Amino acid sequence: MARDLTPGAGIRGGRLRVYLGSAPGVGKTYRMLDEARRRQERGSDVVVGYIECHGRRRTEDMLAGLEVLPRAHRSYRDAEFEEMDLDAVLARRPSVVLVDELAHTNIPGGRHAKRWQDVEELLAAGIDVITTVNIQHLESLNDVVRKITGIPQRETVPDEVVRRADQIELVDMAPQALRRRMAHGNVYKAEKVDAALSNYFRVGNLTALRELALLWVAGRVDEGLRDYRASHKIDRVWETRERVVVALTGGPEGETLIRRAARIADRTAGGELLAVHVSRSDGLAGASSGALAQQRQLVETLGGSYHVVIGDDVPTALLAFARAHDATQLVLGTSRRGRINRFLTGPGTGQTTVDASEDIDVHMVTHEFTGRGRLPALGRRHSRRRTVLGYAAGLALPWLLTAALSQAHHRINLTTDALIFQLGVVIVALLGGAMSALVAALVASVLLNYYFIPPIHSLTIGETNNIVALVVFAAIALAVSTVVDHAGRLTARAARATAEAETLSTLAGSVLRGADALPALLEKSRTAFGMGAVALLSRTDGEVLAHSEGEHQDDGPQETTEVPVGADAVLVLTGRRLPAADQRVLTAFAAHVAAALERDRLAVVAAEVEPIKAADRMRTALLAAVSHDLRTPLAAARASVGSLRSPDVEFSPEDQAELLATADESLVKLTRLVDNLLDMSRLQAGALTLHLTETHLDEILPRALDSLPDPYAPVQPLDLDTAPAVLADPPLLERVLANVITNALRHNAPGAPVLVTASHHAEQVEIRVIDRGPGIAPEDRDRVFLPFQRLGDTDNTTGVGLGLALSRGLAEAMGGSLEVEDTPGGGTTMLLTLPAATREEPPAHE
């Protein structure tokens, strides 16, 4: 029973406080008891539901003055255990209850298998709970802890249970201090200290576990901070954690920037590295998809993450990305543009970013390619500033050229003057486009006529050839400026196409590397277009098939863009207004989403077909496996009966009895095989009919033994007459016991009896068939239950291998289970668990 802790749920149960430790012995239980004492002094009703002191005297002393509830006593495998009495705590209903060891597995007999489930029920009842857990018991870190310590953790608790606690307090201790505590006998008893210090509690292990605990708690704190900022609409960057964003253009300086940014992030604990590439409509000089792929790999190797966003204004896109991810520092490379380039185009991305960065620190990193770039690409889409600058140059540059040429008119002729004016018009076309070049051509024509074509200082033209020269000049100026502008527009389109191709290439690579294509596509589309949220909706009923939502939403008006995805779905993006060029790329994204949907649909179809294929494989294996098992008993029975009917031979009574026994034994084997095959077929088809009734084991076992080939085999039943009745189908249970006992006899040590015992635990009866054979390795324990698989055999000449597979299937059909355990001292124990016939109905809340 879980609490509803979603925001706005309106239901609030008890509050959960968790003391999280990096290892046993750091003082979690002591801190929990200290907190209980403080609350008791403030008047809170505090009780101890379950505390495990492990013989630590100082911890036991902290219990003085606290009410300790009696524990529940439970029997399990002939031993007595103590557990928290959940019903007693609920009946006492205190304000606060202490429950130690949250990840503990309960002894069978209670309502819940895990103690954290008991805690959930207490919280749902409105009781505050204080508990403890070690970092190695968190489910998500289980495999990591095993790699570090070499010891698997069998008791785990889902991360979400701890994550949604109202308070999480880290109980920290340096590894050396914890080892001193152990050496002084404050953690374990003296006989266990040496082994613990040389194994689990090595300095390296404790240091790694401590780092895991610190990072996990830091991540939890970071989540809480983001939720707080989002709920209070705080957009300013809070420098609680160093997040370094490095801007990549695909140029050769990328690796230098990445390594510098990684060093900056590593200077502080928990620093985070994010790399971002802005794919814009006018392209980036020197951008290379191959270089970007290599740089992405380097970023991921250094522990960072790589992102691609689309934006025409690179500084704005960079800063928006940095603020959305709470970045504290932004790393850019110094411009590769030369001096002429910077003079013509003005301040670049770096300077513009610095001017608008506000509370984000910007690092301009120098590199060996600084100032070695080319002239600006022709025909970039001009900003308003460039357009105004172009018109101003169209008006001013001809006057400047006129002033300069007037000083040297006696050394150069009219042709040279016209060519210099022509060059000025081309420069204006490069700077501001065709319209500004037209203005420059008109002004240059008038000035050329007035100052350089005789008669000087007059707009009249005295010679015909000068008129022709002026007209040709104007025509050439207009033609050149038009060609330059047109070439620039084509270049811009090509750059846009390159940017879109890079984005789609990155998208495809990200999806191929992911395990789930659809969520990855939606997340990439959201980040690439800078949207607040992306959802995939069904066209028929509007159902949300998948969605991706950012951490921050803009306060301004939100626009919705919809793109069809096949015939059954639509892709909905919420956020900024997308220009037409971006919508073309979005259409390609939608095509990828449609392909992912189709792939998911085909996967579902394949999953539906898989049972049919499995049944076909089963039939094929059956035909291959039973040929010998059917032929052998049939041949033996036929030979025995044929010999008895032969008129040529007279058999003695002893020989006749032996032949009849052989025929009978063969027919029994054949009947058992056919029965197994029929039952397995019914199980596979789901057509097995059950008649569950109260069944006594001491009545079933003799019938199971009578069906064995050798009913006098050494099988020794123990305590079956005192075991409670089980809820089972008697003939099926007889079949299960016969198959399991036959398997035990086949592998048992010579002369050793096979033991059959039964015990009652909670609402279940556990039946154990124990042999003293070679045992089964852990990796083979599931394989022995597969049909037509006989452990250690390469053929089926000694059996078709259906006994254990059928037994497990029948046990599960009756609501039980069949598992393999080790026999103490060597051998295999088959554990058959069935529901007790006297079990009570489960409580309503379960």
Average pLDDT over residues 542-552: 69
- Taking the C-alpha atoms of residue 416 and residue 419, their distance in angstroms, rounded to an integer, is 5
| Number of H-type helices and E-type strands within the chain | 24, 24
Lowest-confidence segment of 85-94, 269-278, 308-317, 683-692 by average pLDDT? 683-692
| Residues 114 and 64 sit within 8 Å (Cβ to Cβ) | no
| Residues 332 and 365 sit within 8 Å (Cβ to Cβ) | yes
3-class secondary-structure state, position 555: coil
- Taking the C-alpha atoms of residue 595 and residue 567, their distance in angstroms, rounded to an integer, is 12
Confidence of residue 378 (pLDDT cuts 50, 70, 90): very low
- Taking the C-alpha atoms of residue 89 and residue 110, their distance in angstroms, rounded to an integer, is 14
Tokens of 41: 């002094």
Tokens of 60: 């036991």
Average pLDDT over residues 525-537: 76
- Taking the C-alpha atoms of residue 765 and residue 733, their distance in angstroms, rounded to an integer, is 13
Residue 37: what pLDDT?
92
Residue 395: CA count within 13 A, CB half-sphere: 5
Average pLDDT over residues 810-825: 84
Of 470, 493, 578, 486, residue with least CA distance to 530: 578
| Residues 114 and 102 sit within 8 Å (Cβ to Cβ) | no
Ramachandran angles phi, psi of 624, nearest 5°: -75, -30
Average pLDDT over residues 165-171: 89
- Peptide bond between residue 778 and the one before it cis (omega within 30 degrees of 0): no
Share of the chain above pLDDT 90, in %: 9
Of 755, 599, 758, 731, residue with least CA distance to 676: 731
Residue 699: CA count within 13 A, CB half-sphere: 10
* Model confidence at 114: pLDDT above 70: yes
Query: Tell me: the pLDDT tens digits for 570-621?
Result: 888 887 777 656 666 677 677 777 777 777 777 777 777 776 666 665 555 5
Residue 389: what pLDDT?
82
Query: Tell me: the pLDDT tens digits for 637-684?
Result: 777 787 777 777 777 888 778 878 888 777 776 776 677 666 666 655
Tokens of 353: 């970013």
* Model confidence at 845: pLDDT above 70: no
**194 DSSP 8-state letter:** H
Ramachandran angles phi, psi of 417, nearest 5°: -60, -45
- Taking the C-alpha atoms of residue 370 and residue 13, their distance in angstroms, rounded to an integer, is 62
Lowest-confidence segment of 19-33, 354-368, 495-509 by average pLDDT? 495-509
Query: Tell me: the pLDDT tens digits for 223-267?
Result: 666 666 666 565 555 555 678 999 988 777 888 899 888 888 887
| Residues 120 and 15 sit within 8 Å (Cβ to Cβ) | no
* Model confidence at 514: pLDDT above 50: no
- Taking the C-alpha atoms of residue 570 and residue 593, their distance in angstroms, rounded to an integer, is 10
Tokens of 333: 């490379």
- Taking the C-alpha atoms of residue 713 and residue 12, their distance in angstroms, rounded to an integer, is 63
Residue 116: what pLDDT?
92
* Model confidence at 27: pLDDT above 80: yes
Residue 788: what pLDDT?
53
Query: Tell me: the pLDDT tens digits for 272-307?
Result: 889 998 875 544 434 566 677 788 888 888 888 888
Most confident among 179-193, 348-362, 583-597, 602-616 (mean pLDDT): 348-362
Confidence of residue 45 (pLDDT cuts 50, 70, 90): very high
| Residues 614 and 787 sit within 8 Å (Cβ to Cβ) | no
pTM metric for this prediction: 0.37
Of 678, 675, 683, 672, residue with least CA distance to 785: 683
Computed over every residue of the chain, the mean pLDDT equals 76
16, burial (CB in 10 Å: exposed 0-12, middle 13-18, buried 19+): buried
Residue 286: what pLDDT?
41
Could you give the strand order of the β-sheet that contains 46-50, starting from the edge strand earlier in sequence? 67-68, 46-50, 96-99, 128-134, 16-21, 167-171
| H or E element at residue 40 | helix 28-41
* Model confidence at 718: pLDDT above 70: yes
Rounded to the nearest angstrom, the gap between the alpha carbon of residue 386 and the centroid of all alpha carbons in its chain is: 47
Query: Tell me: the pLDDT tens digits for 782-812?
Result: 777 776 554 444 444 444 455 677 788 778 8
Of 18, 6, 4, 31, residue with least CA distance to 217: 18
Instruction: For tokens 């992030």, name the residue.
Output: 265
> Which residues make Cβ contacts (< 8 Å) with residue 319, sequence separation at least 6?
330, 353, 356, 357, 360
Residue 679: what pLDDT?
64
Of 225, 244, 166, residue with least CA distance to 551: 225
Residue 839: what pLDDT?
47
Most confident among 49-53, 287-291, 292-296, 533-537 (mean pLDDT): 49-53
| H or E element at residue 170 | strand 167-171
Average pLDDT over residues 722-730: 86
* Model confidence at 555: pLDDT above 60: no
* Model confidence at 119: pLDDT above 90: yes
Residue 844: what pLDDT?
35
Please state, as a whole number, how many other Cβ atoms lie within 10 Å of the Cβ of residue 507. Answer: 20
> Which residues make Cβ contacts (< 8 Å) with residue 581, sequence separation at least 6?
281, 496
Tokens of 322: 């940095």
444, burial (CB in 10 Å: exposed 0-12, middle 13-18, buried 19+): buried
Confidence of residue 97 (pLDDT cuts 50, 70, 90): very high
Lowest-confidence segment of 41-55, 382-396, 459-473, 652-666 by average pLDDT? 459-473
Residue 672: what pLDDT?
67
* Helix axes of 580-645 and 653-685: crossing angle, nearest 10 degrees: 160
Residue 499: what pLDDT?
60
- Taking the C-alpha atoms of residue 777 and residue 501, their distance in angstroms, rounded to an integer, is 54
Of 149, 165, 169, 147, residue with least CA distance to 157: 165
Share of the chain above pLDDT 70, in %: 72
Instruction: For tokens 């800063």, name the residue.
Output: 319
Average pLDDT over residues 336-351: 64
